[in-house]
Every structure is written in C-alpha cells, then in structure tokens.
Amino acid sequence: MKSGISAWVQAIKRGDVVSDEQFDACLNAFTKRHTSTHYTPCDVALQAVQFLCAEEGRGHRILDVGSGVGKFCLMGAALMEHAHFFGIEQRNSLSTMADELADQSGLNNVSFLCGNAMNLNFKDYTGFYLYNPFYEHLEPFSAIDESIELDEDYYHIYAGFVRKQLQNMPKGTRVASYYGMGDEMPLNYDLVNQSFNNHLKCWIKR
C-alpha cells in the first residue's frame, strides 16, 4: 500500500476528493508551519488546474510563479498527465521540500527550480498560476521567514515584470490568480470567471 505523497497523488488520479490535511502530513516541521496561509487549498488548486488546462490538444506547460512546497504543481501534475507543471521558488527550504515530494510522488510531469521568477522567460510556458507571490514585500509580517530581503520596491519591480511578461503572451493565454492585488494583470486580459469569494480569478488574453 502506498503512503504519504504517493497515496495523495494516486487518490487524485482516481478522482477522489483529497484533503489539505493529507498533504500537510507529508511536509517537514518547518514547511508545515505555513500550510494554512501560504499554500493553495486543494479545492482551489483543482479548479485553477481545470481552467488552465481546459483547452484540449495543447502541450500545456504551466508555471506556478512562487511555488512554495509545490502543492499546486503536484496536484496539477496528478490531475493532468499530458500537461507539465513547473514551479519556481526563491526560498531554498521550500524548493527542497518540493523536490523531495516530487521524487516521492512517482510523477514525471512536474519540475521545480530554486530561484527568482524574474530570471524566467514566460514565453517558455503556456499558462500561469499566481498565488499572491509578492505580497510579503508590502506586508512583511505576512512573510514566511526572514531569509529574503523585504522591500516595497521589490513588490512593484516584480509585479511590473510579471505584468510585462504576461502582456506579451499570445492570444488565448490563460492565467489563474488567487488573492493578490491584481497588479500583475495587464489590461489586455479578460476576467472570465471568479470563485471562492472572488479570490480565485480566471483570465484569458485577448
């Protein structure tokens, strides 16, 4: 019988409802401390993934900008075996946890990179997920830890970078954003759906 993250993944593949608690049980003590505020709830991830991969016949390459311990990407990879999910995370502790979970998961369509999202070219991806990645620069008390320098200027620089990258994506590009100020979204995207008290927003490029 499979246990831990592998059991969670197999349950998703079968179409079972999985819980946040099951996922949290796979985390180490440090990363578990942030579960309720910093990692996407399973039901939100499910809906976001279904939106991002709704168009059939495309080789979806979905990027989670600030992927934390990889919860969104792992769920996506379990749900959509023909899509590939990529996560970039600046905090080494979280990215290492994500790598460990990916190794144990048995999935071969999920990859994590430790680094700054500013170093990526968004044209390498087809769809994007954003769970308020830069907010800690506006509200330092909400930060996961003190391992990175927090400064309001970074918020504007990072949000501006993401906006510019998204602005130049091809027509039809899909973005799902959860919470956030909306500052990353360019005006050439239509808001096509909102759920979870309007915190999950689904966007398509015109």
Ligand X SMILES: C[S@@+](CC[C@H](N)C(=O)[O-])C[C@H]1O[C@@H](n2cnc3c(N)ncnc32)[C@H](O)[C@@H]1O
Interface contacts to ligand X, rule CB under 6 A:
38-40, 64, 66-68, 71-72, 88-91, 94, 116-118, 131-134, 144, 158
Closest CB to ligand X among residues 158, 189: 158
Phi, psi of 88 (to 5 degrees): -120, 130
What is the spatial distance between Cα 177 and Cα 163, in angstroms, rounded to a whole number?
A: 13
What is the spatial distance between Cα 158 and Cα 13, in angstroms, rounded to a whole number?
A: 35
Closest CB to ligand X among residues 203, 206: 203
CB of 172 to ligand X, least distance (A): 23
Closest CB to ligand X among residues 56, 166: 166
CB of 161 to ligand X, least distance (A): 8
Neighbours of 166 (CB within 10 A): 21
- Cβ-count burial 44-73 (b if 16+ within 10 Å, e if not): bbbbbbebbbeeeeeebebbbbbbbbbbbb
Structure tokens at 195: 């759920």
CB of 171 to ligand X, least distance (A): 26
CB of 52 to ligand X, least distance (A): 13
Closest CB to ligand X among residues 39, 122: 39
